Homo-oligomer: A and B are copies of this chain.
């Protein structure tokens, strides 16, 4: 059975969300989002930098949430929640899937590092402000893309699992403005999905 190495308030939530949406059985190893668990010898044997999520599938240890999503869809769902290569939505799906880590998560990471992870004397207000402005700017094209659309490519897809989760984090960091009405409505739709609720409330 698939086994997910998990910690709350992290990218591991994406994988729980996907597994729940697909109705796939899985085991879960719950860790604290804290060095005592993530940087333990046990977890460093799974990922040398002590990151999550890690998906364990038999002998395989797989890192990177985007890779894990692609792997689960390809190996366990024959492309479910992803448009076919010839579909009109295929390139847009790819774009928003990759926009998550390419544009949104770098400033999300910086904000978390500069407000939570670093000791106060090593934080930089300048770096924090730059990241907040960049994250807010990065959300604007997502808001635009959602005009008249329930989900990023129309129907719910794995691009929503990636970028929707990142947008949820950006919103919690106050970088989704009230003017981004399409995005706010999208976040409400995502938060109403039972699979998302299971993922986001898991401790």
A140 an interface residue at 8 Å Cβ cutoff? yes
Evaluate contact between B124 and A67: CB separation under 8 angstroms: no
Closest CB in chain B relative to A54 CB, distance in Å? 10
CB-CB under 8 A from A98, the residues of chain B are 64-67, 70, 101
Taking CB as reference atom, which chain B residue is nearest A55? B91
Determine whether the beta carbon of A94 is less than 8 Å from that of B67. yes
Note all chain B residues with C-beta closer than 8 A to A110.
106, 110
A194 located at the interface, meaning its Cβ lies under 8 Å from any Cβ of chain B in the complex: no
Residues 41 to 77 of chain A near chain B (Cβ within 8 Å): 48-49, 51, 57, 60, 62-67, 70-71, 74-75
Report how far A2 CA is from B130 CA in the complex, Å: 35
| Nearest B residue (CB) for A86 | B75
Q: Is A105 an interface residue (CB 8 A)?
A: yes
Shortest Cβ distance from residue A197 to the other chain B in the assembled complex, whole angstroms: 25
A62, B48: Cβ atoms under 8 Å?
A: no
Q: Which residue of B lies closest to A88 (CB)?
A: B60
Contacts of A90 in B (CB 8 A): 71, 74-75
Interface centre among A90, A99, A106, A138 (most CB of B within 10 A): A106
**Is A102 among interface residues, defined by CB-CB distance under 8 A?**
yes
Nearest Cβ distance between residue A156 and chain B, in whole angstroms? Answer: 19
Task: State the Cβ distance, A170 to closest chain B Cβ, in Å.
Answer: 15
Give a binary string over A86-122; 1 marks a CB under 8 Å from any B CB, 0 the rest: 0000110011011101110110011001000010001
Q: Are B106 and A63 in contact (CB under 8 A)?
A: no
Q: Do the beta carbons of A126 and B130 come within 8 Å of each other?
A: no
* Beyond A65-B102, A124-B127, 4 extra complex contacts between A and B, CB < 8 Å: A67-B94, A67-B98, A122-B130, A126-B127
